[in-house]
Structure 1
Amino acid sequence: MQRHRRQPSIELLEFLGLVKENGAEQTPPPVTTPLSYDYILVAKYVNDYERQHSRKQAEYIDQLKKKNFRVTKIIYDDIVFYGLQAPKEVFERYRYLLKVSDTCNWSTHQNIMSLSTRIRVVHFILNNTEISSGEVLRDLMKAKIFETKFCLHEKKTQKDLKKKWARWTACFQGQPVTDVRNYFGEKVALYFLWLGWYTYLLILPAVIGVLVFLYGLSYFNTSPLIKEVCESDRIMCPLCDQSCKVWQLNETCTYAKLSLLFDNNGTMIFAMFMAIWTTLFLEFWKRHRSAYVFEWKVADWSEEEEELILEIVNDADCSPKPFKHSYLRSTVVLICVTLMILVIIGLTHALVVFRVMVARFLADHEEWEFLNSNSNIGAMMAGAIIHFIIITVMTRVNRIVAMKLCAIEKTRSFAATERSFTVKMFTFQFFTYFSSLFYVAFILGRINGHPGDYVRIAGKWRLEECHPSGCLTDLFIQMTIIMTLKQTLNNVFEYTGPWFNNYVKKKRSKKLQRKCAVCYQRNESETNAGFEMCENCKLRDWQKNYELTDVNSFSLFNEFLEMAIQFSFTTIFVAAFPLAPLLALINNVFEVRLDAIKMVTLERRMVPKKTNDIGVWIHILEVIGVIAVIANGLVIGVSSDFIPRLVYLYRYGPCVGNTTENMDCMVGYINNTLSITDTKMFAPKQLVTSGGLNITSCSYKDYRDSDYNFTPQFWLILAIRFAFVILFEHVVIICKFIASWFIPPVPMIVKNDKLIDKLNRLKLELRSFEEGQH
């Protein structure tokens, strides 16, 4: 059933300037606004040889003046500043249209337009004002006709936010989210609200992750598995060709202990908890968000209606931009996205080849005793570092490709472009970060063959194997290096970049500061020199904001992307890295203040944007939650030794049938996982032990008989692995659905307050109608 829309009256059309009465333009009633500049445009000073730039620059300013903008021009050195202040009637129109819209949320008593709202309205008008050539401000900036644009920081509010929020000593204090919303707009406020909520809810996973880690640590001296490895005299087969020699299993004692820290019985419980925690986090976030958006009166805000209001305010004769969809463009974009993903996966394969070559190189240099004996570990760490370099380079490439694909789509509005860009960029970044980790978790060591028939790259380099202590050790080291480097280096560059930029530019403004000090000591009305000094004071403020680090529409996107990638690390492979929530918690405690300090003191003011949710990011986080369930189920069922240990315990171990007493039921497990082969396929120099003994047989980790056929135990373990993965995922997904159903997305108090608010508004409308009848 369609809702009845009231038709605009002639009086309303006259009021908005959409029609004229008696040939005269109607003047709307004044609205009280603070005297300030809504926006600053900056251009390089042009001489007579650059008349085209000068003409377009002047034409654009003239177009603003035709819209009754107040323009103040100040020239300093080779820079021209244009201070812009929109006329009062612009904001009165916006206020009225917002009040009569379907998503009415404007208080009837509010007559003062906040500066953040003024900035948002003016920002839209500036971006949609055309000159005769059809170019808008974005085109003019690309052509260097204007250098940049920015809105000014409010000194008093900026000082207050710095005092109670944007400082390092406030790391463990709450956030003044409503103050942030009033200054930076709802979009920035919801980011900090989400980040604070995410950080708060990480406390429990961090504690449980540490307990799982300590649980594994407590078994160092009592676990029969570690004892069996550390006291074993088994001779293992060479791990590479030619250079590698046979080695003793007890050489991996340290790595066996490391593996047990995260590959233990507590891992499965922790992985299930984190899968359910992801759902609880998202559901509780929806409740947390709803309370704030209702308080801010944006619960019913509509992006399309806001855009239409701004279009009318900018141009009374505008036409709506139609929604369009092209199957051809969508197909081209889909093909390009697929090709880009294949390129990223190809880089992962190149990384595999690199690791194999490094392992061979280290193994061939016998003079490097430590690296020679640990060639696989050295190759794995070198691969992790190269992977991080690839991530850094591909981040820039991914951004360029995502923007090009958005240009192909020709989206209807900037908000649609932003959503499309977000999905593409996150997809590319996800594959860039996790392709190598998925290889290590699920492929490494499972396709390398067996003695006498090893799989080789180009028939030359033998594929690397998992570390003898288990494949999860490799995954743990990879994640530790990548996550630690990513978070540490990102925070260092994120803070020091703007700080260093401001430090270098400070010297330029010292002259203005000295001149401005005189301004407050002299009466402005006494001489013309006094007036010039006050212009210098105004210029000093503009110059100070100009020298801050530039921000753009995607600055907040970078912060969300960083946190989404971290959220992926924290949830997807948490079974292999139980300390990930702790590292994320520590990082986020400082991330909140780092972002606050950067936005308040080191960067230009972001354009305040209205919204009532974190947008497409909520869907991305939900997808990550689903991937986390699948990945953790596979890590426990396929990558870890959890299932083989259970099979041994209940099918092949010494406690089967209760035939033994006073014996640990896992005794003999390590030997059970090893197969024996003769050594005829290895070079003679590879068969000499460190003690100088020649051996005729060696062991390798697999379930094979003497003819290299899989044993029945292998097939039993494989069947139980897949059964466990299916059972794990179904149980966790059912728990997620139950949690999602059990937790209402909106608190009852918010629903009731919203109901009362709507009722009061309807009563007010009815009272106004009845008064009009009389």
Structure 2
Amino acid sequence: MKRGLSVTDPPDLPFRPLVVIELAKDVKAETRDWLVKKIVDKKKDGGCQLLIKSFIISEEEEETIFLVGASPKRLLLGAESLGLVKECEDGYMRPFIYNNRREYTHFIEGDEDFLTMAECQCIIKQDLDNLRARDEKSVPGYPHSKLYPGKSIFRRLQTSGLVIQVFPLHDKEDLKRLTHRWYRQIRVAFQPIDQIRRYFGDTIGLYFGFLEYFTLALIPMALLGVPYYFFAWEDYDKYVVFATLNLVWSTVILEIWKRYCSSMTYRWGTLIMKKEFEEPRPGFHGVLGINPVTGREEPTYSSLRRTLRIYLVSVPFVCGCLYLSIYVMKIYFDLETMALDYDREQQSTFSSLLLYVPSIIYAIVIEIMNRIYKYAAEILTSWENHRLESSYQNHLVLKVLVFNIVNCFSSLFYIAFVMCDLKLLRQSLATLLITSQILNQFVESLLPYWMQKRSNRKIKSKVKTLKLDTEFALLEQIHLEKHMDAYPGTFDDYLELFLLFGYVSLFSCVYPLAAVFAVLNNLTELYSDALKMCRVFKRPFSAPAAGIGVWMLAFETMGIIAVITNCTLLGMSPQVNAMFPDSKMDLILTVAAIEEVFLSFLERQPKEQCLQHSRQNKFPTQL
């Protein structure tokens, strides 16, 4: 057993490990030396000018780990190049400029707290990603791993399998303080959103901010839904008041969130932050050509070929999956009919309970189909070979949302507007909502936490057998974190909230307890997601964000569907029909007018108005 420790920077420079780089087993020594030189070389020589320590653990496995840090000055210069926005002493938010650093609030020369650890790790990640090839034609020691002038070295090392993973380290003390405020104590209070954002970054902070806001927005509907549900249990047609409330609620909460989000991101400095030039995805491939914008030689891929893949393969695949979803829905209705016939014949307690079995089976099948489809959609979207990550995410979200809307809501629409069976609609909605919540909590929270606990015990016992005297705590931490699964992102979390918003806004007028179950789900989600972030997954790199991205458009689209659905339900209700006994055309025109009024409120608020509103409020930065 051997361990090597090398420090490539002068010993007088402070070293704070921020990022871990794990190389593949048996990587050649000349490759390691070349990579270290690239990381520590000065900017003018084509390097990153960072600090680095290397560990070689286990002679048999030749496992190499690099710890990367940076000097305080280097991090401040990186903050300027990244375009981070900070609060100035006059109270306004401005991009950070190193030469004007003393004009910024809370800046103290030599103080490491001016930049959060998440921002420091983001700066290092940007420097590593921007490490460009110059005269090298290939990775030293691996002639088959070609390098192209001006292209990212680290992306090539990752696609070649020479770099296994790059991830940011946790700060154990900060994490301990955060977990104590966040989920270790059960209390009726808001989440520490600013502290979450400082530790995990803007994207994660925005997700938990939206989760908290959505939960609070559901509470009025839940409080109104309980008495409405019990007082109108058998009167399925008396849903006019609650449908009207749904119309107002689903319209207003999205507009309030836009203002709240713009105020929050302005205070964080990301609303006015300039977008960074987007690099090609690591998985992007193509033939060698000339980029018409930069004039550099790099892999290119025909947009026509990508379009043909989308329309000749992806679109038929999605349509086929939608047909399968509708076919499964038909089987569900056949089972429902069989259960109803059996209950009419038997009229027993068992037959009454049997009425819920088709809905439960259908809910489980829906969850299984959603997960299988998402996996297939990811493979298909990767095969389309999108150059940018944003384009990849947009196509993936579109595929998944179309399928989930049809798979989760088509049966409810059919029951409501074709069968016109409000009793069955209430039963189906309740079963789908409760079953999906139970399955999601188990699959997304309990199962990963249990598996990670088992893995941690094995890793700790393995590390203790190494019998290393120095830096044992850091080594144990690195071993634990590098074996954790990578954080999968907020995609599934937003998708779950999107489906909950759909269940509540579309048909909760016939099942008012939908908002109650949504609140309960979100409360458990707050704690389970916090636990996953802190204990189950690797710490993700911070990413600047000015909003929830394409998901805002998805929620607005669902809001439009909710307005149309509730207006249609209003037009179908006996109470509203009784108001227009002589002319059905007047009824249709009145409902259409109401629909247009509410849809006009769902127009997207211009960013300039949000920015102006945020500046007028001038929220101070919370530390």
Q: Is the 8 A contact 2:19 2:124 kept in 1?
A: yes
Q: Which of 463, 471, 474 matches 1:538? A: 474
The whole-number CA distance in structure 2 between the counterparts of 1:393 and 1:739 is: 31
The whole-number CA distance in structure 2 between the counterparts of 1:71 and 1:86 is: 9
Q: Which of 393, 397, 422 matches 1:422? A: 397
Q: Which of 508, 512, 521 matches 2:458? A: 508
Which string of whole-angstrom CA distances, capped at 9 and with x for unpartnered residues, describes residues 356-387 of structure 1? 65467669989994589969x95774255134
The whole-number CA distance in structure 1 between the counterparts of 2:197 and 2:274 is: 18
The whole-number CA distance in structure 2 between the counterparts of 1:728 and 1:96 is: 54
Matched, 1:435 2:299: no
Q: Which amino acid aligns with 1:558?
A: D
The whole-number CA distance in structure 2 between the counterparts of 1:33 and 1:584 is: 52
Aligned residue number for residue 283 of structure 1? 255
Q: Which amino acid aligns with 2:476?
A: R
Q: Which amino acid aligns with 2:453?
A: Y
Matched, 1:38 2:18: yes
The whole-number CA distance in structure 2 between the counterparts of 1:741 and 1:117 is: 30
The whole-number CA distance in structure 2 between the counterparts of 1:406 and 1:188 is: 24
Aligned residue number for residue 215 of structure 2? 199
Q: Which of 487, 490, 497 matches 1:556? A: 490
Q: How much does 1:92 deviate?
A: 4.5
Q: Is the 8 A contact 2:246 2:566 kept in 1?
A: no
1:156-555 equivalences in 2 (<5 Å): 156-167=173-184, 169-170=186-187, 172-217=188-233, 257=234, 260=235, 263-265=236-238, 267-304=239-276, 319=294, 326=303, 329-330=306-307, 332-334=309-311, 336-355=313-332, 358=335, 369=346, 378=354, 381-382=357-358, 384-405=360-381, 407-408=383-384, 410-411=386-387, 413-444=388-419, 471-511=421-461, 532-548=468-484, 550-552=485-487, 554-555=488-489
The whole-number CA distance in structure 2 between the counterparts of 1:284 and 1:745 is: 13
Which string of whole-angstrom CA distances, capped at 9 and with x for unpartnered residues, describes residues 46-99 of structure 1? 3xxxx7x88767765564455344241231474724133154475354233356
Q: How much does 1:512 deviate?
A: 6.8
CA shift in 2, pair 1:63/1:365, >3 Å: same
Aligned residue number for residue 96 of structure 1? 80
Q: Is the 8 A contact 1:512 1:537 kept in 2?
A: no
Q: How much does 1:121 deviate?
A: 2.6
Q: Is the deviation greater in 538-547 or in 331-340?
A: 331-340
CA shift in 2, pair 1:362/1:613, >3 Å: closer
The whole-number CA distance in structure 2 between the counterparts of 1:510 and 1:139 is: 33
1:612-627 equivalences in 2 (<5 Å): 612-627=546-561
Aligned residue number for residue 116 of structure 1? 118
Q: How much does 1:481 deviate?
A: 1.3
- SS of 1:190 mapped into structure 2: helix
CA shift in 2, pair 1:62/1:474, >3 Å: farther
Matched, 1:737 2:600: yes
Q: How much does 1:604 deviate?
A: 1.5
Aligned residue number for residue 707 of structure 1? none
- SS of 1:83 mapped into structure 2: strand
Aligned residues: 554
- SS of 2:232 mapped into structure 1: helix
The whole-number CA distance in structure 2 between the counterparts of 1:34 and 1:508 is: 33
Q: How much does 1:437 deviate?
A: 2.4
Q: Which amino acid aligns with 2:55?
A: K
Aligned residue number for residue 592 of structure 1? 526
Q: Is the 8 A contact 2:18 2:121 kept in 1?
A: yes
Q: Which amino acid aligns with 2:253?
A: F
CA shift in 2, pair 1:349/1:723, >3 Å: farther
1:636-647 equivalences in 2 (<5 Å): 636-638=570-572, 642-643=573-574
CA shift in 2, pair 1:92/1:324, >3 Å: farther
Q: How much does 1:472 deviate?
A: 1.5
Q: Is the 8 A contact 1:276 1:732 kept in 2?
A: no
CA shift in 2, pair 1:544/1:79, >3 Å: farther
The whole-number CA distance in structure 1 between the counterparts of 2:378 and 2:339 is: 39
CA shift in 2, pair 1:544/1:594, >3 Å: same
Q: Is the 8 A contact 1:440 1:471 kept in 2?
A: yes
Q: Which amino acid aligns with 1:624?
A: M
Q: Which has the larger radius of gyration?
A: 1
Q: How much does 1:627 deviate?
A: 0.5
Q: Which amino acid aligns with 1:105?
A: P
The whole-number CA distance in structure 2 between the counterparts of 1:402 and 1:393 is: 14
Q: Is the 8 A contact 1:98 1:105 kept in 2?
A: no
Q: Is the 8 A contact 1:165 1:175 kept in 2?
A: yes
The whole-number CA distance in structure 1 between the counterparts of 2:610 and 2:85 is: 24
Q: Is the 8 A contact 1:216 1:264 kept in 2?
A: no
CA shift in 2, pair 1:384/1:537, >3 Å: closer
Residue segments in structure 1 that go unaligned for 5+ positions in a row: 1-29, 218-256, 309-317, 445-469, 519-531, 652-715, 758-774
- Give TM-score, length-normalised by structure 2: 0.76
Q: Which amino acid aligns with 1:587?
A: N
Q: Which amino acid aligns with 2:95?
A: N
Q: Is the deviation greater in 184-193 or in 330-339?
A: 330-339
Q: Which amino acid aligns with 1:385?
A: I
RMSD: 4.2
- Give TM-score, length-normalised by structure 1: 0.62
The whole-number CA distance in structure 1 between the counterparts of 2:116 and 2:13 is: 8
CA shift in 2, pair 1:578/1:729, >3 Å: farther
The whole-number CA distance in structure 2 between the counterparts of 1:366 and 1:756 is: 63
Q: Is the 8 A contact 1:105 1:298 kept in 2?
A: no
The whole-number CA distance in structure 1 between the counterparts of 2:344 and 2:248 is: 51
Which string of whole-angstrom CA distances, capped at 9 and with x for unpartnered residues, describes residues 303-360 of structure 1? 245879xxxxxxxxx9599999946634642554543443233224422442465467
Aligned residue number for residue 150 of structure 2? none
Aligned residue number for residue 727 of structure 1? 590
Q: Is the 8 A contact 2:266 2:611 kept in 1?
A: no
The whole-number CA distance in structure 2 between the counterparts of 1:362 and 1:99 is: 62
The whole-number CA distance in structure 2 between the counterparts of 1:126 and 1:365 is: 66
The whole-number CA distance in structure 1 between the counterparts of 2:57 and 2:462 is: 13
Quick one: percent identity of the two aligned structures?
19
Q: How much does 1:591 deviate?
A: 1.2
Q: Is the 8 A contact 1:362 1:371 kept in 2?
A: no
The whole-number CA distance in structure 2 between the counterparts of 1:344 and 1:137 is: 37
Q: Which amino acid aligns with 2:257?
A: W
Q: Is the 8 A contact 1:71 1:84 kept in 2?
A: yes
- SS of 2:470 mapped into structure 1: helix
The whole-number CA distance in structure 2 between the counterparts of 1:355 and 1:394 is: 16
Which string of whole-angstrom CA distances, capped at 9 and with x for unpartnered residues, describes residues 628-663 of structure 1? 11122334435xxx23x6657986xxxxxxxxxxxx
CA shift in 2, pair 1:80/1:629, >3 Å: same
Q: Is the deviation greater in 208-217 or in 159-168?
A: 208-217
Residue segments in structure 2 that go unaligned for 5+ positions in a row: 1-9, 42-46, 87-92, 140-144, 148-152, 281-292
Aligned residue number for residue 7 of structure 2? none
Which string of whole-angstrom CA distances, capped at 9 and with x for unpartnered residues, describes residues 752-774 of structure 1? 366999xxxxxxxxxxxxxxxxx
Q: Is the 8 A contact 1:161 1:600 kept in 2?
A: no
- SS of 2:56 mapped into structure 1: strand
Q: How much does 1:740 deviate?
A: 7.1
